[in-house]
Amino acid sequence: MSVSPPLRSMRLVSRLSEDGTIHAGLETIDLPPPAPMQVTVRMEAAPLHSSNMNSFFGPIDIERAVQTGTGDAPGLSAPLRPGTAELQKNRLGQAVPGGSEGVGTVVAAGEGAEALMNTRVAVWNNSTYCDYQVFRAEDCLVVPEDLDPADAATAFINPLTALGIIETARRHGYKALINTAAASNVGRMLLRLCKEEGLGLVCIVRSAATAQQMRDLGAEHVIDSSEEAYREKLVEAIDATGAMICFDAIGGKQAGDILTCMEASARKHSKGFGPYGSQERRHYYIYGALDPAPIEIPRSAGLAWTCSGWLFRPFFKELSPEDRKRLIVRVSDGLGTTFKGKFARTIGLTDVLRLDIAREYFQRKTDGKTLIRF
């Protein structure tokens, strides 16, 4: 057995104060040695996903953020957006760490986890914006030494989301699906997976430039929501593919628009009529909150739809152990290819707290993702 004494680890934490302000900064903690079936990992890289910003900072107004701290130990404070304080109440008095996945090297192993000692592992299910962290051995995936840190650091969340979306669509019996914010990292993984699996895909993006990017990557049905004829083109793409299931990372008014287009397509080939529109079943899953506005579904969308949230963690947890293993093997085989991610910049841990840099990553643009290197 190889067990080390407690390690000093520097980490990012945020705290909510009574006046509704989030204060993010650095702190050093003592990390206990790994328990049986646990390992201590020296972190090498971790991604800054949109969900990490939402959970680490909360729903802050980045335009009103201010720089605090000192040059070496910067801090960032920002007020919560109006109307969001109630949902954040449970954070009061808590130190919230950041990050949800990453890659690093095992430097200490508890009993039963010795085989992982000195290996390079992708990790998840604990915070990762720190220079050392303890993980359960079962939350580690050994990755090749020469795998690009950007691919190794994002081995779980986006790949399992893309795979989970495909599994969900298949379980409902669909042969084609719609995805929004489709030029995202998840969206590009979905594009590759749909090609590999022979599934139809309608990609919705919000600019001509990203629409062209998706076509260049081989997407057949790309709809630009900023176009005048957006709705007509979406109905045509639904007609062509039969996509009656949508995975929407945005929400807001877009959900109602898409459901209405699905209804318009369904009505074209349904016989008869009724007070609630067509009877063709549709599924609408909202898996992101890129638009923080309320989700609106107008009556023109009919009523034969089911709308719900979709989160990969509960989805993954509810799978059988065999299915979980199958998906992890699939991810492992596709790291650097099917599940390749794209990053705009690499920053250090303290740079996360620099206001000029935060304003950039908060834009959540296509190809705008940030990787933290330790």
Lookup: tokens for 185: 């990292």
Pick the piece of the chain touching ligand NAP (CB under 6 A) from 13-21, 58-66, 143-151, 184-192: 184-192
Identify any residues that bridge with 373 across adjacent strands, giving them in sequence order: 45
Q: Which is nearer to ligand NAP, 284 or 312 (CB)?
A: 312
* 311 interacts with ligand NAP by CB under 6 A: yes
In the complex, least distance from residue 183 CB atom to ligand NAP, rounded to whole angstroms = 4
* 56 interacts with ligand NAP by CB under 6 A: no
* 287 interacts with ligand NAP by CB under 6 A: yes
Provide the 3-class DSSP secondary structure of residue 275.
Answer: coil
Q: Which residue is nearest to ligand NAP (CB)?
A: 288
On whether the CB atoms of residues 201 and 242 are closer than 8 A, the answer is no
- Sole binder of ligand NAP in the list 334, 335, 369, 371 (CB under 6 A): 369
* 155 interacts with ligand NAP by CB under 6 A: no
In the complex, least distance from residue 91 CB atom to ligand NAP, rounded to whole angstroms = 19
Q: Which is nearer to ligand NAP, 74 or 98 (CB)?
A: 98
* 14 interacts with ligand NAP by CB under 6 A: no
Taking the chain, what is the end-to-end CA distance rounded to the nearest angstrom? 27
- Could you please report the per-residue DSSP string of 119-179? -EEEEESS--SBSEEEEEGGGEEE--TTS-HHHHTTSSHHHHHHHHHHHHHHHTT-SEEEE
- Sole binder of ligand NAP in the list 105, 207, 212, 279 (CB under 6 A): 207
In the complex, least distance from residue 260 CB atom to ligand NAP, rounded to whole angstroms = 18
Pick the piece of the chain touching ligand NAP (CB under 6 A) from 6-14, 49-57, 140-148, 351-359: 49-57
The pairing of strands 132-136 and 120-124 is unpaired
Q: How many CA atoms lie within 13 A of 238 on its CB side?
A: 26
* 210 interacts with ligand NAP by CB under 6 A: yes
* 338 interacts with ligand NAP by CB under 6 A: no
- Sole binder of ligand NAP in the list 277, 288, 302, 334 (CB under 6 A): 288
How deeply is 311 buried, as exposed, middle or buried, from its count of CB atoms within 10 A (0-12, 13-18, 19+)?
middle
Q: How many CA atoms lie within 13 A of 272 on its CB side?
A: 5
Residue type, 175: K
On whether the CB atoms of residues 231 and 254 are closer than 8 A, the answer is no
Q: Which is nearer to ligand NAP, 161 or 241 (CB)?
A: 161
Q: Which is nearer to ligand NAP, 174 or 287 (CB)?
A: 287
* 213 interacts with ligand NAP by CB under 6 A: no
Q: Which is nearer to ligand NAP, 277 or 341 (CB)?
A: 341
Lookup: tokens for 255: 């959900």
- Sole binder of ligand NAP in the list 38, 184, 260, 278 (CB under 6 A): 184
- Sole binder of ligand NAP in the list 91, 120, 206, 282 (CB under 6 A): 206
How deeply is 372 buried, as exposed, middle or buried, from its count of CB atoms within 10 A (0-12, 13-18, 19+)?
buried
- Sole binder of ligand NAP in the list 64, 215, 299, 365 (CB under 6 A): 365
Look at residues 5, 13, 1, 12 and name the one whose alpha carbon lies nearest to residue 30: 5
Q: What are the angstrom distances between the C-alpha of 111 and each of 30, 148, 227, 343, 361?
A: 20, 30, 59, 37, 40
Q: Which is nearer to ligand NAP, 195 or 267 (CB)?
A: 195
Number of residues that bind ligand NAP (CB under 6 A): 28
* 345 interacts with ligand NAP by CB under 6 A: no
* 203 interacts with ligand NAP by CB under 6 A: no
Contacts of 114 (CB under 8 A, 6+ apart): 1, 2
Lookup: tokens for 288: 């992101």
Q: Which is nearer to ligand NAP, 278 or 366 (CB)?
A: 366
The angle, 0 to 180 degrees and rounded to 10, between the axes of the packed helices 157-171 and 321-334 is 120
* 310 interacts with ligand NAP by CB under 6 A: yes
Q: Which residues bind ligand NAP (CB under 6 A)?
A: 49-51, 157-158, 161, 181, 183-186, 205-207, 210, 249-250, 287-288, 290-291, 310-312, 364-366, 369
